[in-house]
Structure 1
Amino acid sequence: MRRGARILCMNNYSFSKHHEVSGKTRWKCSKCSSKGCKASVTIIDGSAFFTTTDRGARILWIQDFSFSKHSDAQYVTSVRGARQLVLNGYTYCVKHVLGSKLHWICSTHHSKGCRAKVHTMNDSVCSQLGAHTHPPRLISHQVEILTNFCNDMFMNQ
């Protein structure tokens, strides 16, 4: 038999249900919200959700993709099955592996002279070197997912 209120566990953090309105459920940090922590999760109709970091940055999650206006790095799998780094709309592929440090190069325009590089250690960005010679582009699958989500949201209003 279960006792107490339900909690949401995500990435080793726990959230308490704050309120539920029109298919949206908001969960707040169960440990530090009384101390001003801004971390929260908003679930929309059980499929997509927003997370807010403890510093207030909002991230939209649809399927396994995150959409943020901040420079958070994320990792995706290419069409051919290789792991890629996505940072600020640019995609990178691994050039060198030196222990736990990875050197990434621009995956779309390196052969056309783009020398932008990123170094990561244990999946955390250590440095960004060089400037891209082209504008960023979203991965077509991300654009399709985001477009479908937005269309569904506006059609249901």
Structure 2
Amino acid sequence: MTHIGGANAVYCTSKKGRHLITVGGYRFSRHRSTGLKTRWHCSTDQPKGCKAELYTVDNTIVKINNNHNHHPKYFREQKISERENAVFSTSKKGGQIIMYGGYRFCRERSKGMKTRWRCSTDQPKGCKAAICTIDNTIVKINNNHNHSPR
């Protein structure tokens, strides 16, 4: 895992064996390599013609154009805080969620890099538990639930 500009870069392999890098919920696929230098294009939503790209030298990200024309898609298994063991995931309907301590949190609102997530495990009970993140890093947790995890 590489850290760049406040985001974790995760190197992985696709089901078809292609090399990929995921940064901030966006997936990049290898475009061209020359020696130790590699150019990667955003492959999250290719039909939209996204121009975002990054460059690596010997598997280290040295430059990134992170200007995407679409929202991120890939949140599965991206830990946003090893210390808290919270994990970004995707709901069945495609929305972003955080799983933490057996509870599910959905995005309530965002402003800039700051996002507030509310407990959505058992909404009818009016749970006030919430998580606050800045640039996908947990900065505050109210983990006082009025119900048990599912």
TM-score, length of structure 2 as denominator length = 0.48
The structure whose RCO (Cα within 8 Å, separation 6+) is larger is 2
TM-score, length of structure 1 as denominator length = 0.46
* Greater helix proportion: 1
* Greater strand proportion: 2
Larger Cα-atom Rg: 1
